């Protein structure tokens, strides 16, 4: 087993290798950029990462597993605040790495500072622990260190690599209510068993069971488990991909986002209390 520091663009990252996988994690955002399982056929990448990223400080990295916090989407406070919050755009402190027969566990911490207080006036500690082994797990632990309650939302904006978007299906959301962000935020009930991506899709599922399967005719099934409440399914398709500067025009063919977190309703956390959530990805 080994772990080493490396630069990607201007950003510091860690590369992890063990018996099960190779992974890359950025100090900015404590963001998993790559997770490659070791198989009998070689390395198998489970996450998608845009090859047009410039890896600049304070600029969001397209792909992998960005953490959206303390809000999802646009801020309700001000249009000038960063989309999906500040957590993915700033440096976290690397706390420790623990090696075991099961792989590596790495912990990163983000605490309030002048930059965060200016746009979200609360004291907090957020620890993200990432397990890299036969499975990829991410744990979110938030502590309110303020003297008053605060509201927040969060999501792991996971980009899953697929070899064939046309045969890709997402299971686990049948009969769930969703908000269609492409149809004036209209509320619908998913009647079909599987989501098939045959056009742009952008749906928020406020309440789910937390178990999903991503399957494709050309890829191994990917299983997603979480104790969070919400899910978001997103693919930009053709036209929106052309409008995104950090994505190739045809990149929509290569990924599906199945994002998990607590997006709706907004969470409230009392002083000195903690919230803890987890996400596990395996094949």
In the prediction, which pLDDT does 80 show? 74
Furthest-apart CA atoms within the chain: distance in Å: 54
User: Tokens standing for 279?
Assistant: 């996400």
> How many Å apart are CA 202 and CA 233, to the nearest integer?
6
Beta strands 150-156 and 136-144 are unpaired
CATH 3.40.1790.10 fits 2-282, yes or no: no
CA distance to 85, 166, 255, per residue, from 163 (Å): 30, 9, 8
DSSP state of 174: T
3-state secondary structure at position 62: coil
Dump the DSSP string for 85-138.
BSGGGSB-EEEEEEEETTEEEEEEEEE--HHHHHHS---EEEEEEEEEESSEEE
The residues that are catalytic are 157, 259
In the prediction, which pLDDT does 81 show? 86
The ranges assigned to domains in the chain are: 2-282
**What would the mean pLDDT of 255-279 be, rounded to a whole number?**
96
pLDDT digits (tens, 9 = 90+) for 116-134: 999 999 999 999 999 999 9
This prediction's pTM: 0.97
Q: What is the mean pLDDT of the chain?
A: 96
**What would the mean pLDDT of 46-71 be, rounded to a whole number?**
97
């Amino acid at each position: 087993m080994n772990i080493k520091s490396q630069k990607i663009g201007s950003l510091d990252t860690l590369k992890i290798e063990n018996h099960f996988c190779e992974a890359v994690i950025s100090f900015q955002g404590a963001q998993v950029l790559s997770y490659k399982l070791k198989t009998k056929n070689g390395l198998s990448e489970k996450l998608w990462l845009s090859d047009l990223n410039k890896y600049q400080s304070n600029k969001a990295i397209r792909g992998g597993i960005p953490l959206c916090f303390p809000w999802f989407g646009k801020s309700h406070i001000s249009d000038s605040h960063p989309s999906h919050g500040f957590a993915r755009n700033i440096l976290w402190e690397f706390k420790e790495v623990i090696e075991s027969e099961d792989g590596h566990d790495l912990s990163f911490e983000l605490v309030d500072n002048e930059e965060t207080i200016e746009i979200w006036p609360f004291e907090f500690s957020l620890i993200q622990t990432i397990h890299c082994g036969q499975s990829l797990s991410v744990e979110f632990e938030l502590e309110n260190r303020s003297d008053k309650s605060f509201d927040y939302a969060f999501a792991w904006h996971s980009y899953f690599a697929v070899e064939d978007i046309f045969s890709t299906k997402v299971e686990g959301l049948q009969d769930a209510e969703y908000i269609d962000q492409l149809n004036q935020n209209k509320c619908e009930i998913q009647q079909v068993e599987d989501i098939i991506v045959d056009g742009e899709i952008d749906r928020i599922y406020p309440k789910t069971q937390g178990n999903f399967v991503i399957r494709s005719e050309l890829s191994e099934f990917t299983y997603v488990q979480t104790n969070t409440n919400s899910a978001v399914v997103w693919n930009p398709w053709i036209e929106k991909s052309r409008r995104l500067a950090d994505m190739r025009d045809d990149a929509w063919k290569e990924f599906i986002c199945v994002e998990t977190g607590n997006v709706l309703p907004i969470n409230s956390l009392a002083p000195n209390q903690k919230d803890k959530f987890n996400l596990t990805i395996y094949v």
